[in-house]
Amino acid sequence: MRKRSISEIVQTRTPSHLVSKLKVCAYIRVSTEHEKQLNSLENQRQYYERLINANPEYEFCGIFSDAGISGAKENRPGFQSMLAEARNGGLNLILTKSISRFARNTVLLLESVRELKMLGVGVIFEEHHINTLSSDGELMLTVLASIAEEEHKSVCGNVQWAIRSRYKRGCAMIDTNRLIGYDKDENGNLVINEEQAEIVRLIFKRYLDGIRAYQLAKELNSMNIPTYTNKPWSSSRILRIVSNEKYKGGCLMQKSFVDERGKSVRNEGQRDQYYIEGNHPALISKELWQSAQCLRESRKPKSYPFSGRLHCPLCGAVLIRKASRWGVDWECGTYLHNGKAACTGIRIPEDILDRIAAEHFHGHWVVTGESNEAKSKREKSYTLVPAAGYPFGESR
């Protein structure tokens, strides 16, 4: 009979506080900053904070969030901060509610997930029960993301159709947060804010008195008159008020629209527009408003064949046409506006430009030659070089 020996194997376990925990965070997002959605964001924050802290294998590494930003956009602050933390080795796992919360663009979703996977960071989509580190995770993700993107496009199309239908019925949507001179009553109708209305009337009066927009902005700032955003007055803000048809009681709808990429685009004929006459009480008369438009149109700079097409070789600024009793020159915009300290610039007489540019009727060009410090313009040797790829600022 064989002799048997028995030995005891003592089990040793690493104390739980010494076990390496997974560094876990959550990503949450809402598409608007409306109160209900912001409440939803806070509910999500509390839910994930409790979920992560309740798991003994997890180390809570924060909640990354974005509000009022589309999931189709890559440059979301919270999203980018989370990716940066992952690249720095601060994360092992990301929890999120759904694919649409993480990213609505299929390409962006897959690129982000693959980068995280290469970093050893997994993403768990709770609603779809997908872990990107599993063998079939990416396949399922690709299919579901494509479906989610198509659903999003369908929803956007329905929303845009509904908005256009409202426009056709004459239902104006006006945000008084960016419209000085008006408030809304309990029924949502525009009513005049008399205190603010006086500011608008003053702007139109001074503008029609011949005061330039930048001069008027200085006047209002010196008088400590507030804007609707509490930022200083500027010439562009003055001109936006002067050209806004709402101050004569009208409303032009669909000045801009959201394209298929989710970006707001200025409507320059791509979509129908709708105009409502007498939509709300006017602050100024139609005649006064029209006079301001005529004056503004007359003040617009004239366009010349070379306007916007010639550039300084030092700073890349557009050359500006400048006439004097000695003739007409095209000079660096930076030099003209900010002086020699900003750029020594370039200057070329228009008659010389006409000769050397005889064959250059299209595109953008860089005028090369000596700087404004050269003694004689006529002694310079000028050439035109295509602007594309030109190394602005380098000595040549």
Tell me the CATH architecture of domain 176-299.
Answer: Alpha-Beta Complex (3.90)
Tens place of pLDDT per residue across the chain (396 aa): 566 666 665 554 544 444 578 999 999 988 765 555 556 788 889 999 999 999 999 999 999 998 877 656 667 899 999 999 999 999 999 999 987 788 767 777 888 888 998 999 999 988 878 888 886 766 666 666 666 666 666 656 666 666 666 666 656 666 667 788 888 888 878 888 998 889 999 999 999 998 888 888 888 989 988 887 778 888 888 898 998 888 898 887 777 666 665 566 776 767 777 777 888 888 989 999 899 889 888 877 667 888 888 999 888 888 988 888 888 899 988 888 777 888 888 889 988 888 887 666 567 888 887 655 544 555 568 888 888 878 876 544
For strands 122-125 and 93-96, give the pairing.
parallel
The phi and psi torsions of 24 (rounded to 5 degrees) equal: -120, 135
HSE value, Cβ hemisphere, 13 Å, CA-based, for 391: 3
Paired tokens of 209? 């008195």
Residue whose entry in the numeric block shows the structure tokens 């997974």: 22
What distance in Å separates the CA atoms of residue 259 and residue 104, rounded to the nearest whole number?
A: 15
pLDDT of residue 100: 78
Query: Got the DSSP string for 168-221?
Result: HTT-----GGG-TTEEE-TTS-EEE-HHHHHHHHHHHHHHHTT--HHHHHHHHH
Paired tokens of 325? 């009793």
pLDDT of residue 149: 62
Q: Please state the domain extents for the chain.
A: 18-150, 176-299, 310-386
Paired tokens of 96? 């999120």
What distance in Å separates the CA atoms of residue 331 and residue 345, rounded to the nearest whole number?
A: 7
Residue whose entry in the numeric block shows the structure tokens 């008659």: 351
List Cβ<8 Å contacts ≥24 apart for 223-229. 225/199, 227/180, 228/177, 228/178, 228/179, 228/180, 229/178
pLDDT of residue 255: 72
Burial of 276 (0-12, 13-18, 19+ CB in 10 A): middle
What is each CA distance from 285 to 172, 193, 249, 282, 291, in whole angstroms? 20, 17, 9, 7, 10
Whole-model pTM? 0.46
Residue whose entry in the numeric block shows the structure tokens 């002694």: 379
Paired tokens of 184? 């809304």
pLDDT of residue 1: 57
What distance in Å separates the CA atoms of residue 105 and residue 93, rounded to the nearest whole number?
A: 21
For strands 256-258 and 310-311, give the pairing.
unpaired
CATH 1.10.1040.50 fits 18-150, yes or no: no
pLDDT of residue 14: 46
- The strand pairing partners of 131, in sequence order, are 124
- The strand pairing partners of 279, in sequence order, are none
pLDDT of residue 16: 45
What distance in Å separates the CA atoms of residue 275 and residue 252, rounded to the nearest whole number?
A: 4
Beta-strand (E) ranges in the chain?
Answer: 22-30, 58-67, 93-96, 122-125, 130-131, 182-184, 190-192, 251-253, 256-258, 264-266, 274-276, 310-311, 319-324, 327-332, 347-349, 365-368, 383-386
